[in-house]
């Protein structure tokens, strides 16, 4: 009887859901064959899996839904145990040989992916104060797998690593130098997404990939990254995932004096300010109705339109700032859920960058074509789908050989 194919599991943990992808290890490469979502807010719990088997195998239904009969605890032991049982019950999936994780913050310690052992796990945990609302979600998945499958190889891929080699000038705040030495500096995030976009550009449009590119990862979380020859040189997000452009519920760049005012004059607690800036601001705060761009686009309320217009203004403004770091702009790439699917927003951003030579083709934009720019545009405008899980899988496979 032939041995089942080896499978690598990529996990991308969020506060309320876990995205996952399954990859067959074939000829030294990780080949995706299924993507899934476990929504921890949905009751009853169910794993939703999309994909197809390899040629000659019975394809997975689209989608497969498996119930996850487990209580949600903080350590997620029961949920992860049930999740693994559901995956392994489907014979076509194969044998899970390793797991790779997206970890938001690598601090100054991690400049690339690492295999997880006791020491690296402790170091990742020590960085939790730098990303208090994100790091915990990856850590509990890692620990659950270590508890349930202690022999399973695990790797961590960091959202900050792609930016780790930026010039120190781009990473420094105008604060006392001893604070920089203590790690209070600009880190940048969404690095797995930007790493994938850099690879796609190099493969599909090598001349652009070697040039001056601003990539805009626009989703519920949003940021922009300046890349020169495929390497990060600056980004909109800095010390935390609050920085840069407005997001679904996060404020984006904010005068620090506002925080002082809320604490000192309004009597808000640090916890209340944290909740305000992370969960009640951004598009939700400005519109007063929704953090979802699709809902705002469909709304006739003036506040909804103002939220979208503010988003476009800030995205274009950040793209222009990053073009200054680059010394010019050869291409602007839109990616992630909003960037890939919202034609109106892309047109609004491009219109504000017309002075840089950006001119969008309305027809190509409406079709969500890969190349959006007109023949007269001096800046290439592109839409490229991102795939953070593929980067996790590739980095894990490279580590594990």
Q: Looking at the annotation, which residues are catalytic?
A: 159
Measured distance CA(238)–CA(286) in Å, rounded: 22
Q: Which residues have a Cβ under 8 Å from the Cβ of 317 and sit 6 or more positions away?
A: 352
DSSP 331: E
Q: φ and ψ at 139, to 5 degrees?
A: -60, -40
Q: Dihedral, CA atoms, 204, 208, 212, 216, nearest 10 degrees?
A: -40
Instruction: Tell me the β-bridge partners of 158.
Output: 103
Q: Which two tokens stand for residue 74?
A: 């903080």
Measured distance CA(128)–CA(139) in Å, rounded: 9
Q: β-strands 95-103, 6-13: how paired?
A: parallel
Helix axes 135-148, 118-126, angle to 10 degrees: 160
Q: Which residues have a Cβ under 8 Å from the Cβ of 168 and sit 6 or more positions away?
A: none
Cα 359 to its chain centre, rounded Å, is 27
User: Residue length, the chain?
Assistant: 401
């Amino acid at each position: 009887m032939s041995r089942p194919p080896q499978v690598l599991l990529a996990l991308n943990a969020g506060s309320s859901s876990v995205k996952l992808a399954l990859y067959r290890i074939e000829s030294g490469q990780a080949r995706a064959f299924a993507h899934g979502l476990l929504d921890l807010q949905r009751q009853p719990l169910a794993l939703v899996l999309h994909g197809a088997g390899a040629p000659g195998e019975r394809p997975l239904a689209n989608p497969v839904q498996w119930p996850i009969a487990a209580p949600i605890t903080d350590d997620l032991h029961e949920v992860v145990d049930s999740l693994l049982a559901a995956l392994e019950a489907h014979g076509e999936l194969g044998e899970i040989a390793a797991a790779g994780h997206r970890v938001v913050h690598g601090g100054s310690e991690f400049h690339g992916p690492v295999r997880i052992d006791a020491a690296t796990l402790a170091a990742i945990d020590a960085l939790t104060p730098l990303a208090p609302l994100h790091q915990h979600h990856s850590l509990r998945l890692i620990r659950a797998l270590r508890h349930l499958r202690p022999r399973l190889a695990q790797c961590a891929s960091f959202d900050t690593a792609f930016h780790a080699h930026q010039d120190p000038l781009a990473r420094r705040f105008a604060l006392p130098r001893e604070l920089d030495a203590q790690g209070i500096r600009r880190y940048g995030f969404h690095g797995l997404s930007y790493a994938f976009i850099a690879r796609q550009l190099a493969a599909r449009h090598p001349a652009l990939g070697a040039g001056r590119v601003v990539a805009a990862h626009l989703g519920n979380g949003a940021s922009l990254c300046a890349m020169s020859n495929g390497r990060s040189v600056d980004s909109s997000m800095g010390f935390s995932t609050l920085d840069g452009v407005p997001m679904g519920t996060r404020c984006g760049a904010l005068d620090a004096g506002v925080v002082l005012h809320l604490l000192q004059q309004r009597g808000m607690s640090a916890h209340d300010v944290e909740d305000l800036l992370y969960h009640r601001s951004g598009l939700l705060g400005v519109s007063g109705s929704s953090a979802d761009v699709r809902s705002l686009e469909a709304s006739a309320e003036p506040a909804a339109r103002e939220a979208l217009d503010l988003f476009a203004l800030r995205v274009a403004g950040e793209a222009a700032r990053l073009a200054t770091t680059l010394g010019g702009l050869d291409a602007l790439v839109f990616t992630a859920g909003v960037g890939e699917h919202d034609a109106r927003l892309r047109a609004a951003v491009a219109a504000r960058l017309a002075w840089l030579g950006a001119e969008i083709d309305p027809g190509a934009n409406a079709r969500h074509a890969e190349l959006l720019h007109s023949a007269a545009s001096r800046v290439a405008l592109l839409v490229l789908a991102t795939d953070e899980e593929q980067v996790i899988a590739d980095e894990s496979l490279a580590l594990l050989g």
